[in-house]
Structure formats: structure tokens, C-alpha cells
Amino acid sequence: MGTVAMILAGGAGTRLTVLSEERAKPAVPFAGKFRIIDFTISNCVNSGLSTVGILTQYRPHSLNEHIGIGKPWDLDRQHGGIRLLQPYQGRGAQDWYAGTADAILQNLNFLSEKGADTALILSGDHIYKMDYRPMLAFHHERGADLTIAVMPVPIEEAHRFGIMETNAQSEIVRFHEKPAQPTSNLASMGIYVFSSRVLARRLQEEGADGPRRDFGQHVVPDMLAAGDRVYSYPYSGYWVDVGTVDAYWKTSLDLLEASPALDLYADTWPIHTRSEERPPVKLGPQSHVVQSMVSNGCEVHGHVRRSILSPGVYVSPGAVVQDSVIMNDSWIGPGARVDRAIIDKQVIVGFGAQVGCAMSAEPRPNLLTPDKLDSGKTVVGKGAFIPDGARIGTNVIVNSDSAEEDFPPDLVVEDGQTV
């Protein structure tokens, strides 16, 4: 008997716009050589958990290729190890996952097959370092049916989370999923420890409003209503949901501070990833790199300030990259300028092109997705080609694989437009 970790990694991550258009959100590159899911998998391994199921669904190819047989995390083993759990359509009740709880319901056999008395349910799209062992001990000491990791959030952001009220014994007495008028700022982190027996029973029962498809919407409220023992576990470390363009950009650049809140390379809690064989960084005689993270395989001949370059990025002479994230194997042309942008893999920014140049004093939000892109960033999708001399404003989305003919004849893309 023991604990099995199950990582929910099937989300489409639509708030990341084109960054998650061709991949699941947990597979989005982060901090140069990592992927977002590396943090949760590494937390499991560093916490001594060696049986991990990864539940995938939306565009899983990039994620599947990255995880492989789990070798970077020492999870390529016969007993335990890592297993990719993908939805399938069968003769029974199997179908595409209809929610977080439904995904676990369709994989309860994985828990029983591994003989788990405890299930640790995690999200694959959060950036944090956490030792799960104290939380598991807390859960067992209290004889809990469910324990939820919680942390306080600013009250103005509480509507984005599952919000709860607790008593002096840390028992959860009320839970509201994304309330319009929050009565508390104690938020669920999407980290659940369940008694496997209770989890199976609650998932297999019909709820008051039909099947229990989602943990926040259905399972947790129903367990409270049924009188199950549901506890909160306080967490005070670094934790970020990088599910929006703004959060992704800010969290990335926060890593460049002199004393970042998250230390990527601490020996005591390493973050493992699948690494590629690349040559060392090459800096040309005219290069100037300040407060930046430059990955292996990069070649820099221009100026890079407060930016993150993933493996294989080429910055040409006279080019300036600042306050930006550039992903693998992108090419920044001579004299080009990239400012406050996120550029996906294999993008070409042409000679003298400008990406992220404000066209007006008050840049307008993206016209097609004003709720997702309104803070002055510009996002360029994978494989796009930015023509020589193009001027691209702020809050602009350039879709994946865009070509020169997709741009206006004058090559000027105003603030808030989409190519």
C-alpha cells in the first residue's frame, strides 16, 4: 500500500493563446530548457514518489515526446515508474475526459492496479517546488478523506480560484468554486490528497446534478455536504499558475532578479528535464548580454537585456532583444528589435523588423481576445515568419506558421491586431 501521484496534464490552456495552440499547456517551454510540467514531476520524484500517472488529452504529442519513458526523472523503472494515461473510446463508459474528476474516474483502475491507499492529484501546469511528504503526513494524522493544499491570494484575484472557509482545526466548512463575491481569500492550489477508497466511491456515485465531472465544481462541495472529513493544508512557499500570457511573461522574467523567489538550480531540490545535446553558448565580439538567461546552443551577436533565450536561438548583429522570452531555434535578424514579447519556437524575425513597438500612448487590447491580451505584450506563434522591415505593435497575436502574405501590404500591424 502507498501513494500514487496522478498529474492532470490534458488542459488546452486557451488563455495562453497561440502558445498552447499546438501543444498542451504543461508542455509549453519555460525558463529556457524546461517545460512547465517538469516542476510537478520533479516535485514527485524529490518527494520520494516513484509511481506517477500523467493524464493527457489535448494535443499530447509534444508532451508525450518530452516525457518519453521518464528517464530524466529516474522513472524508467519496472516497478512503479511513469505512465501516460490517455483517453480512449471503448465499448463501455470510456470517452474523452469531461473534467478533472472524470479524468480520474476513467483511470481508477490505475490506482487499484498499483494498490494505492492514497491518491495525490496534481496539476501539470503550475510553477513551484513542494515536498509533498508533510502534506501526506498531515492527511494521515487527521484521518482525512480529502486534504486540499491552500494559500492566501489577493482578494481581488480570489474569483479565479476555488475559495474556502475553515475552522480552527483546519477543517473546510465551506467551499465555493470561482465565486463572484468571495467571502475569503484562502484558495485551492489544485493539489489534493484523497483516501483512494473514498475517492473511488464519490467519483462513481451520481451527484445531485448528475455525474461528478470536476473536483472544484462537484466533488469537493458534494463531499462537504455528505459529511466527509475534508481538511486544508496551508502552503507558504512559491507557487504560480502560469495560465495567462501576463503570468507566464512575468513569472519568466522574475527568474532574472538578483535573488529570484524560485531558484531553478538548487542542488537540494533539482528540477529535472529532458535535455538536448547542444553546443555551448557563443557570444560574438559585438554582443552585449545583461541580466538574461541564455541557454545552450544560442548564438548572440546583438544586444540582449532582461530576456530568456531557449536553446538554439540566434540573435544577429545589430539586433536588440529586451524584456522578452524567445523559444527554441528562433532567429532574430540583423537590426531587428523585439520588446516585451513572447516568441515561440522556430520563428524568423526578418531584417530590421520591430516586434512589440507601441503605436500609440494608450495601446488597445487585442481586438479578438481582449480578456487574454491587454497588458502590452506581443505573442508570436510557432514557425511564424516576420517579414523584413515589418512593424508589429503591442497586444498583437501573430498566429503559428504565419507567412509574409498574411501581413498587410505596408507590413504595419497596429496595436491589438491579429495576423
- Please indicate, yes or no, whether residues 291 and 353 belong to a single structural domain of this protein: yes
C-alpha to C-alpha distance for 311 and 33, rounded to whole angstroms: 7
- Please indicate, yes or no, whether residues 108 and 51 belong to a single structural domain of this protein: yes
Domain-embedded: residue 300 = yes
Domain-embedded: residue 263 = no
- Please indicate, yes or no, whether residues 169 and 308 belong to a single structural domain of this protein: no
- Please indicate, yes or no, whether residues 234 and 306 belong to a single structural domain of this protein: no
- Please indicate, yes or no, whether residues 121 and 248 belong to a single structural domain of this protein: yes
Q: What is the pTM of this model?
A: 0.91
In which domain, by residue range, is 214 found?
A: 2-254
What is the reported pLDDT for 183? 83
User: Average pLDDT for consecutive 10-residue bins of the chain (419 residues)?
Assistant: 84 73 84 93 93 81 82 80 71 58 83 86 92 96 94 86 88 87 87 91 72 76 88 92 90 91 86 89 95 96 97 97 97 97 96 91 87 92 96 95 94 92
Domain-embedded: residue 13 = yes
What is the reported pLDDT for 91? 42
In the chain, how many domains are there? 2
Sequence-distant (≥ 6) Cβ neighbours of residue 300 within 8 angstroms: 281, 282, 283, 284, 287, 289, 294, 309, 315
Burial state string for 355-384 with b = 16 or more CB within 10 A and e = fewer than 16: bbbebeeebbbbeebeebbbebbbbbbbbb
Number of H helices, E strands in the chain: 8, 34
Q: Which three cell numbers stand for residue 345?
A: 519556437
CA angle (192, 195, 196) in 5-degree steps: 100
Q: What is the 3-state secondary structure (H, E, C) of 117-174?
A: EEEEEEECCEEECCCCHHHHHHHHHCCCCEEEEEEECCHHHHHHCEEEEECCCCEEEE
Q: Where are the alpha helices (DSSP H) in 47-144?
A: 61-67, 100-105, 108-113, 133-141
CATH number of the domain residue 165 falls in: 3.90.550.10
Element (H, E) at 232: strand 230-234
- Please indicate, yes or no, whether residues 327 and 391 belong to a single structural domain of this protein: yes
Asked which of 254, 274, 305 is the last residue of a domain, the reply is 254
Residue owning grid cell 554582443? 287
Domain-embedded: residue 143 = yes
Name the residue type at position 210: G
Residue owning grid cell 473511488? 200
CATH number of the domain residue 333 falls in: 2.160.10.10
- Please indicate, yes or no, whether residues 214 and 294 belong to a single structural domain of this protein: no
The CB density around residue 328, as the number of other CB atoms within 10 Å, is: 22
C-alpha to C-alpha distance for 33 and 276, rounded to whole angstroms: 9
Measure CA 355 to chain center. 24
- Please indicate, yes or no, whether residues 291 and 345 belong to a single structural domain of this protein: yes
C-alpha to C-alpha distance for 354 and 392, rounded to whole angstroms: 6
- Please indicate, yes or no, whether residues 243 and 383 belong to a single structural domain of this protein: no
- Please indicate, yes or no, whether residues 360 and 239 belong to a single structural domain of this protein: no
C-alpha to C-alpha distance for 9 and 67, rounded to whole angstroms: 12
- By C-alpha distance, which of 297, 301, 293, 351 is closest to 325? 293
What values do phi and psi take at 275, rounded to 5?
-100, 145
Domain-embedded: residue 419 = no
CA angle (83, 272, 51) in 5-degree steps: 30
What values do phi and psi take at 253, rounded to 5?
-70, -25
Q: How far is CA 39 from CA 44, 117, 123, 125, 240, in A?
A: 9, 25, 10, 9, 11
Domain-embedded: residue 212 = yes
- Please indicate, yes or no, whether residues 248 and 292 belong to a single structural domain of this protein: no
Domain-embedded: residue 49 = yes
Q: DSSP letter for 364, please.
A: P
Question: What is the arrangement of strands in the sheet containing 385-386, beginning at the earlier edge strand?
Answer: 282-283, 299-300, 314-315, 331-332, 348-349, 385-386
The CB density around residue 75, as the number of other CB atoms within 10 Å, is: 22
Question: How far apart, in Å, do the first and last CA atoms of the chain sit?
Answer: 54
What is the reported pLDDT for 13? 59
Domain-embedded: residue 274 = no
- Please indicate, yes or no, whether residues 304 and 219 belong to a single structural domain of this protein: no
DSSP string of 389-418, one letter each residue: T-EE-SS-EE-TT--GGGS-TT-EE-TT-B
What is the reported pLDDT for 212? 62
The answer to whether the beta carbons of residues 146 and 113 sit under 8 Å apart is: no
